Amino acid sequence: MNPVERTLRALDRAQQHHTVPGMVVGVIKKYGDDRGSLLTALIAYYGFMALIPLLLLLSTILSFILHGHPGAQKTIVNSALADFPIIGDQLRQNVHSVQGSGLALVVALLGLVYGALGIAQVLQHAMAEVWNVPGVVRPGYFPRLARSLLLFSTLAVGLLLATAAATLVATTLGGLAAHIGALVLSAVVNTGLCLACFRILTPKIISTRALLPGCAIAGPLFTVLQAFGAALVAHQLRHATAVYGFFATVIGLLSWLALAATITVYAAETNVVLHRRLWPRSILQPPLTEADEKVLESIANQEERRPEQHVDVDFDDDNTSPEDGRPHQDDT
């Protein structure tokens, strides 16, 4: 072995003998095995396709409701909608001047149906891929549609709860205590909302307890993304918007959605790794660890498409490291 490979294998052995580094490597490896970057890109794309019509619909409806009601306008400005990057700033600046349009309402509704169904289908597909559910037992279109409607209802309730929580904290506390209290309460609400959504999207055979670790991590991260992601994106685009205009806004919003999608997929991968004890994983092969073989077997079984189809996975016994000086045969 050359010095680089020798160093990498030493690091590999070290992480395999320690629980926390082994779990971290296991999650990262599982993310790569499931093509997590592709799933993240799909979620971000359909999230964008759903968010833009939703914001157009909200602005159109609000134009009819908020006209001549300054108290209601203030409530909307202080709601969870203001946490979206770029959009929140636009909402604060233009809430007093939004005007309704029948055409905008129709276009927004059609776009919302397309984008919302797309994001719900992609999220269900992502969870099935992460948990390596065989294609033959995945739900059909109508069960997925029912899950989508349940998911939208849950998200709507979560948005209302987040808005009510922010309003309660703002009215009962002041100054720094209000900001800290809002962050803590937001983290709790986001964790509960994440758990509810994961329960809807994840196959029923997986217990709710198995979904807790990833949601406990994702909830606070979503809060940080809401609290500081908007400010970070706005800061980065402060000068770019003046030059590139709307394109900079689109790029910034897509970046924010991509971060949210990445948190979602990694949270799901964390649940799988902990529930199935998919660690330690090997960074360099051979040899394959027991967790490596379990993941490879699950990926192969995932490709079953028909009840008549059966996938069997075997591994050669000669699964040794080059350090042993023996030839290695590929797994079958």
Picking from 300, 249, 289, 255, the residue whose alpha carbon sits closest to that of residue 47 is 255
Q: Is residue 310 in a domain?
A: no
On whether residue 198 sits in a domain, the answer given is yes
Whose tokens are 């509704």? That residue is 109
Tokens representing residue 218 in the block: 């994702």
Instruction: Give me the average pLDDT of each 10-residue run along the chain (332 residues).
Output: 89 94 96 96 89 72 62 56 55 52 74 85 94 92 91 86 70 70 85 94 90 95 80 58 61 84 96 96 91 94 91 80 50 41
155 domain residue, yes or no: yes
Task: Report whether 255 contacts 237 (CB < 8 A).
Answer: no
pLDDT score for 87: 55
Domain that holds residue 277: 35-305
Q: Is residue 157 part of a domain?
A: yes
Domain for residue 260, yes or no? yes
pLDDT at 244: 57
Res 180: pLDDT:
80
Reference 53, options 89, 121, 106; nearest CA is: 106
pLDDT of the residue at 251: 76
Size of the chain in residues: 332
DSSP 1: -
> What's the confidence (pLDDT) of residue 196?
95
User: Which has the closest alpha carbon to 132: 34, 15, 243?
Assistant: 34
| Confidence at residue 48, expressed as pLDDT on a 0 to 100 scale | 86
- Whether 238 is in a domain gets the answer yes
Structural domains of the chain, count = 1
- On whether residue 119 sits in a domain, the answer given is yes
First to last CA, the chain: 26
Residues whose CB is less than 8 angstroms from the CB of residue 218 and which lie 6 or more positions away in sequence, other chains included: 190, 191, 194, 263, 264, 266, 267
Q: What is the pLDDT of residue 230?
A: 61
Give domain status of residue 23, yes or no: no
